[in-house]
């Protein structure tokens, strides 16, 4: 089968298409023929070994997992022993390392669910990573019913997901983004929008129960004054991990405002949660661009510009 692989850390050019051995489903696994995948910021970080300490998880001298990618949408090709929830021909979407490939095995009880009716494979592939991360972060601030939530960077994959999940959970959502994306944020359900190019939300006198930094470009120090009593600052970006755990620990004992850095588990529970939101009309995927699998280097370069809106999808099956 074809897959996107890399053997050393480096720029997007280390990626290449290679024929590799097709996986065989083990007990409790589902073999998925991937129709669409994606390129995420996390994929770029793993490939480039940024930050450097990420090598502790991905391999010190070189990548342990040669095939890149996380998000997938496709059809069940075969199932291993003991699988009861899925059968050949089912349309599924989810998360599994090595997803930029024609075939991938996913545990039945892993982050895998049936694709909601009406979604294309490309649309389904644009959902899992951002939605699961947003869900994991916002869970730390629940219940959200009646709260005021600000989503900073509300036009990326995690941000568009966070905006919609918070709104679905009953929050009053203020979305922060660029001028050209204000209408998008409104269309996703934002109650208020802030143009970050013309307004600093930390200086507008408003306070929020939750501030969700979905792009890792803000800080608790700058946003603290905009948090109300008992407010929560949610961080997502690995680049801040060297000091956010210390802040999270200190904030438990000093003052009444908290900092959290949830680590997403990519669970079936989260996949089923977002599936229900899609089916209820409360969530829709946002796709910036779609590339073929052969254009993975170009797609990766675009993601690394930091200018994408929503997700960048890879079409595996032409």
- pLDDT, one tens digit per residue, over 69-115 is 999 999 999 999 999 999 999 999 999 999 999 999 999 999 999 99
Same domain, 186 and 292: no
Measured from the Cβ of residue 242, the count of other Cβ atoms closer than 10 Å reads 10
Examine the pLDDT at 190 and tell me if it is beyond 50.
yes
Domain boundary among 227, 245, 260: 260
C-alpha to C-alpha distance for 35 and 19, rounded to whole angstroms: 17
Examine the pLDDT at 127 and tell me if it is beyond 80.
yes
**The pLDDT of residue 237:** 64
* Percent of all residues in the chain with a pLDDT value above 90, rounded to a whole number: 79
Within a domain: 272: no
State the average pLDDT over residues 284-293: 98
Within a domain: 289: yes
C-alpha to C-alpha distance for 290 and 314, rounded to whole angstroms: 6
Same domain, 221 and 208: yes
Same domain, 111 and 145: no
Within a domain: 269: no
Same domain, 137 and 248: yes
Contacts of 177-184 spanning 24+ positions with Cβ under 8 A: 177/153, 181/155, 181/309, 184/155, 184/160, 184/286, 184/309
Same domain, 138 and 207: yes
Same domain, 94 and 17: yes
Domain count along the chain: 2
Q: Quick one: pLDDT band at residue 52, thresholds 50, 70, 90?
A: confident
Within a domain: 278: no
CA atoms within a 13 Å half-sphere pointing along the CA-CB vector of 120: 13
User: How far apart, in Å, are the Cα atoms of 23 and each of 37, 105, 121, 218?
Assistant: 17, 7, 21, 41
Q: How far is Cα of residue 6 from the mean position of the Cα atoms in its chain? A: 22
Within a domain: 114: yes
Examine the pLDDT at 50 and tell me if it is beyond 90.
no
Examine the pLDDT at 238 and tell me if it is beyond 50.
no
Within a domain: 180: yes
Measured from the Cβ of residue 109, the count of other Cβ atoms closer than 10 Å reads 12
Instruction: Give residue 9's domain range.
Output: 2-127+285-315
CATH code, domain with 47: 3.90.180.10
Q: Higher pLDDT residue, 221 or 154?
A: 154
Same domain, 110 and 174: no
State the average pLDDT over residues 255-266: 75
Backbone dihedral region for residue 8 (phi beyond 0: left; psi -120 to 50: alpha; all else: beta) = beta
Same domain, 177 and 294: no
Within a domain: 11: yes
State the average pLDDT over residues 234-245: 58
**The pLDDT of residue 55:** 80
**The pLDDT of residue 239:** 47
Within a domain: 135: yes
Q: Are strands 227-235 and 208-213 parallel, antiparallel or unpaired?
A: parallel
C-alpha to C-alpha distance for 106 and 85, rounded to whole angstroms: 13
CB 51 within 8 A of CB 241: yes
Same domain, 154 and 256: yes
CATH code, domain with 207: 3.40.50.720
Same domain, 237 and 149: yes
Same domain, 136 and 121: no
**The pLDDT of residue 62:** 84
Angle of helix 128-139 versus helix 268-279 axis, rounded to 10? 100
Same domain, 123 and 16: yes
Q: Quick one: pLDDT band at residue 255, thresholds 50, 70, 90?
A: low
Question: What φ, ψ does residue 195 adopt, rounded to 5°?
Answer: -85, 105
């Amino acid at each position: 089968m074809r897959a996107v692989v890399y053997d050393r850390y480096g720029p997007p050019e280390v990626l290449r298409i290679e024929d590799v051995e097709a996986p065989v489903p083990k007990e409790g696994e589902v073999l998925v023929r991937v129709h669409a995948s994606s390129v995420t910021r996390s994929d770029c970080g793993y490939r480039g070994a940024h930050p450097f300490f990420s090598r502790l998880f991905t391999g010190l001298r070189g990548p342990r997992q040669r095939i890149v990618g996380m998000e997938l949408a496709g059809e069940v090709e075969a199932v291993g022993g003991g699988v009861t929830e899925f059968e050949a021909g089912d349309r599924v979407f989810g998360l599994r390392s090595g997803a930029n490939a024609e075939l991938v095995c996913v545990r039945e009880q892993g982050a895998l669910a049936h694709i909601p009716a009406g979604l294309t494979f490309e649309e389904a592939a644009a959902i899992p990573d951002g939605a699961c991360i947003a869900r994991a972060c916002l869970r730390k601030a629940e219940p959200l019913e009646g709260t005021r939530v600000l989503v900073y960077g509300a036009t990326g994959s995690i941000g568009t997901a966070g905006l919609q999940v918070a709104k679905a959970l009953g929050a009053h959502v203020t979305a922060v983004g660029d001028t050209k994306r204000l209408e998008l944020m409104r269309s996703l359900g934002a109650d208020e929008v802030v143009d970050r190019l013309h307004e600093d939300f930390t200086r507008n006198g408003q306070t929020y129960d939750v501030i969700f930094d979905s792009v890792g470009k803000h800080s608790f120090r700058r946003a603290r004054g905009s948090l109300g009593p008992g407010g929560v600052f949610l961080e997502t970006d690995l680049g801040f991990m060297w000091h956010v755990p210390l802040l999270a620990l200190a904030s438990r004992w000093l003052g009444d405002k908290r900092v959290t850095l949830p680590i997403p588990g990519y669970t079936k529970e989260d996949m089923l949660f977002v599936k229900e939101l899609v089916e209820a009309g409360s969530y829709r995927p946002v796709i910036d661009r779609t590339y073929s699998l052969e254009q993975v280097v170009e797609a990766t370069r675009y993601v690394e510009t930091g200018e994408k809106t929503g997700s960048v999808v890879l079409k595996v099956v032409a």
